[in-house]
């Protein structure tokens, strides 16, 4: 199993290009199921989760062609409407085929995603929303069996649905389902993440009638059919945020291309509070730092508040910052798996419920640590970049799910990172 070997202590200098967003690409790829004609995408990152999604769509009968970051998907001859346990257990975002399959074909059989390292992650709101649109849904033998064949014209019916928790993929699934429903759907307490907005923008180009994406009320007037279009996937704000924290922690000056500051207000605010100098121009962000940072309190919440996907990275920053920081995770019930690994490197962190108290220490010691989930792995890379000596990170397949060419990008900035089999 691959490992990363990091020799800490190098300041980062130079520029790298941020890839297309994983969490925009995943729903966008699944949206291909809604289209009668081919979808042409660009800025689709080379990530494990993208490979998994393309494989799942291919098994269903979507004709997939890929050339670098360009992907075309033709769902004119889909023959299977199922996402098996084997597929879903490797990537829970496979649940995003449920809405499109129901909307276009009236039937779907999707394995219930299990929990994962960061929490139980139920999909009850996805299911309740589809039931509000008239879908008949039975959970049997670990599968979601869904159908609209009993409905007028066999189509989902527009509905008003209030999500009692803000759910990103729940909002995306229901927005895709509503796009081909009969009548108008109003999704209330909708997620406002930029990835939801990017999906909506693409659906509108495909012929969908959607207003309010990016606000907490999304209105979708169903249409008869959707066609393919061309779309460039929005940049990955979490990848960008991760490298911005790397620059702030190591000290140096890093310029990120294809990085939109307007998607990262809460993260930039915290980096400035910690003492980094963050400037931006168009889709370029520059971070300058002397590496001496102040501890910053973090409280995660739905966009535009501080993103949960950046919590672990700021935990790493706080371990070597001056002062004491409170890090509160309000979205997932078990997203502190990186703490015990950082403690092995000498971090001074104590956990009380969903809050961690982080006391900055003068330095971390390199150690062998284990990745447990995607963003926890990224935070261990950050810790390794500033630790004294050598850090070995095991199980880095977690990293490959969400960071394209991570070691190449870091080494291009002057880090010393090697992948060892
Ligand atoms: C998306 O996950 C992202 N994944 C996650 O990124 C991200 O951490 C999360 O949103 C929050 O921003 C993708 O977009 C593929 P939620 P998602 O539904 O949609 C509860 C990464 O590192 N909930 O917004 O699965 C849920 O348990 C990944 O890239 C229900 O109770 O998250 C959680 O506590 C990790 N019932 C909260 O809502 C439901 O039906 C938010 O979850 C749905 C969610």
Cα–ligand 1 centroid distance for 333 (angstroms) = 11
pLDDT number for residue 90: 86
3-state secondary structure 144-170: EEEECCCCHHHCCECCEEECCCCCHHH
User: What are the tens digits of pLDDT across the range 338-395?
Assistant: 999 999 999 999 999 999 999 999 999 999 999 999 999 999 999 999 999 999 999 9
pLDDT number for residue 120: 80
Mean pLDDT of the 244-256 span? 98
User: What are the tens digits of pLDDT across the range 300-311?
Assistant: 999 999 999 999
d(CA 75, CA 227): 10
Whether 93 lines ligand 1, by a CB cut-off of 6 Å, is yes
- Looking only at the bridges linking them, the beta strands covering 355-359 and 324-328 are antiparallel
Examine the pLDDT at 331 and tell me if it is beyond 80.
yes
Examine the pLDDT at 118 and tell me if it is beyond 90.
no
With a pLDDT cut of 70, the percent of the chain lying above it is 100
Peptide bond into 304 cis (omega under 30): yes
116 has catalytic annotation: yes
pLDDT number for residue 115: 72
Whether 168 lines ligand 1, by a CB cut-off of 6 Å, is yes
pLDDT number for residue 63: 98
- Exactly one of 5, 116, 186, 221 is catalytic; name it: 116
Whether 169 lines ligand 1, by a CB cut-off of 6 Å, is yes
Which of 107, 147, 227 shows the shortest CA–CA distance to 179? 227
Cα–ligand 1 centroid distance for 82 (angstroms) = 22
Position in ligand 1 atom list of the atom nearest CA 123 = 40
Examine the pLDDT at 87 and tell me if it is beyond 90.
no
Helix (H) or strand (E) holding 209: strand 209-211
pTM of the model: 0.98
Which residue's C-alpha comes closest to atom 15 of ligand 1?
23
Position in ligand 1 atom list of the atom nearest CA 118 = 35
Beta-bridge partners for 287: 254, 278
Whose tokens are 């982080």? That residue is 358
pLDDT number for residue 224: 97
Examine the pLDDT at 230 and tell me if it is beyond 90.
yes
């Amino acid at each position: 199993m691959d490992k990363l070997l990091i020799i800490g202590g190098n300041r980062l200098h130079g520029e790298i290009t941020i890839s297309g967003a994983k969490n925009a690409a995943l729903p966008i790829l699944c949206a291909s199921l809604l289209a009668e004609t081919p979808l042409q995408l660009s800025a689709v990152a080379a990530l494990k989760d993208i490979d998994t999604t393309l494989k799942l769509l291919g098994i269903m009968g979507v004709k997939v062609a890929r050339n670098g970051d360009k992907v075309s998907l033709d769902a004119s001859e889909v023959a299977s409407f199922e996402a098996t346990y084997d597929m879903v257990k490797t990537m829970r975002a496979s649940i995003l085929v449920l809405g499109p399959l129901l909307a276009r074909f009236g039937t779907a059989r999707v394995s219930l995603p299990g929990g994962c390292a960061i929490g139980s992650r139920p999909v009850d709101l996805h299911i309740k929303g589809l039931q509000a649109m008239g879908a008949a849904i039975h959970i049997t033998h670990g599968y979601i069996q869904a159908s609209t064949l009993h409905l007028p014209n066999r189509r989902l019916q527009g509905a008003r649905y209030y999500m009692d928790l803000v759910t990103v993929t729940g909002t995306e699934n229901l927005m895709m389902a509503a796009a081909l429903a009969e009548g108008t759907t109003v999704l209330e307490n909708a997620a406002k993440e930029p990835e939801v907005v990017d999906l909506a923008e693409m659906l509108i180009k495909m012929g969908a009638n959607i207003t309010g994406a990016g606000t907490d009320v999304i209105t979708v007037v169903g249409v008869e059919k959707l066609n393919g279009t061309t779309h460039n996937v929005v940049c990955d704000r979490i990848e960008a945020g991760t490298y911005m924290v790397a620059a702030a922690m190591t000290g140096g000056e890093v310029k990120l291309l294809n990085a939109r500051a307007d998607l990262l207000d809460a993260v930039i605010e915290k980096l400035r509070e910690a003492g980094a100098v963050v400037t931006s121009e168009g889709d370029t962000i520059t971070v300058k730092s002397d590496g001496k940072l102040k501890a910053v309190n973090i409280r995660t919440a739905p966009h535009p508040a501080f993103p949960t996907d950046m919590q672990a990275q700021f935990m790493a920053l706080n371990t070597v910052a001056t002062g004491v920081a409170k890090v509160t995770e309000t979205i997932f019930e078990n997203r502190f798996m990186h703490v015990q690994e950082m403690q092995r490197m000498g971090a001074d962190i104590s956990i009380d419920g969903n809050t961690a108290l982080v006391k900055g220490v003068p330095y971390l010691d390199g150690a062998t640590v284990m990745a447990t989930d995607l963003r926890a792995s990224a935070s261990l890379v950050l810790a390794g970049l500033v630790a004294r000596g050598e850090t070995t990170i095991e199980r880095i397949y977690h990293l490959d799910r969400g960071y394209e060419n991570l070691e190449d990008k870091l080494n291009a900035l002057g880090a010393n990172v090697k992948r060892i089999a």
